[in-house]
Structure 1
């Protein structure tokens, strides 16, 4: 039998939600918690239909859960994330809680669909799913509040986008 190398995935949005991940990825296991330095959490998409993404931002960091995936789990996540059209995959350095560093794959929203992807507000149900994941992981919800504040400011600045 061929040994499969671990595929590690960084979760920062709805994939923090253990119940949702259990439905999507039957054999995924939590590898650990950590943070991605030099990135910030954002909500992008259409009004009331925005989703989490991360983007480079000097001096910022994003708390994450790292999942260990099997090939079928990754295929399921690819489908869920709309890879490669809505989200792309990148490898990022993660600083784990114990101070060690690993490299893991993360889904980051593409900029290919300019007319559909802007800073925006999520639906209530999506936001609650993300918040539940944050609570379960014992992450500070201030990261979510900061991302929401950035979106609210953008919505006020460019109101014609939402007509």
Structure 2
């Protein structure tokens, strides 16, 4: 069995059909909440998340195969546009650590 990664989507990957094309082996798990962050569009026009105590970001949780994660990295521009980060997300499986992506450098 191939390794799998929990992934938190908060931008364009909220679109289920688009995600099924980008990551055909992915499995949608349900909605999730990322506490202590806020959602923003940065100066380059990318969706981003930044630390913000007391705020939260709603998104979707997926289970990704190793191949899907690699394809998503290419599509999302990891590591030059986005960086992969581990974060605590509350989702259907309870409070879990998932990999997400935020704009490289993290700022606006």
Bigger proportion of residues as helix: 1
Whether 1:93 aligns to 2:91 is: no
Work out which of the two has the higher radius of gyration on C-alpha atoms and give 1 or 2. Answer: 1
Task: Determine the C-alpha separation between the residues in 2 that align with 1:37 and 1:59.
Answer: 7
5+ residue gaps, structure 1: 119-163
Residue 97 of structure 1, CA deviation: 4.9
Q: Deviations over 1:47-99 (max 9, x none)?
A: xxx1211010011000010111011111111011110111001111111257x
Whether 1:4 aligns to 2:2 is: yes
SS in 2 for 1:4: coil
Which aligned runs of 4 or more in structure 1 are off by greater than 6 angstroms?
A: none
5+ residue gaps, structure 2: none
Bigger proportion of residues as strand: 2
Q: How does 1:1-163 map to 2 (within 5 A)?
A: 3-46=1-44, 50-97=45-92, 100-111=94-105, 118=108
> Aligned pair count?
108
Aligned alpha-carbon RMSD (Å): 1.7
SS in 2 for 1:27: coil
Higher relative contact order (CA 8 A, sep 6+): 2
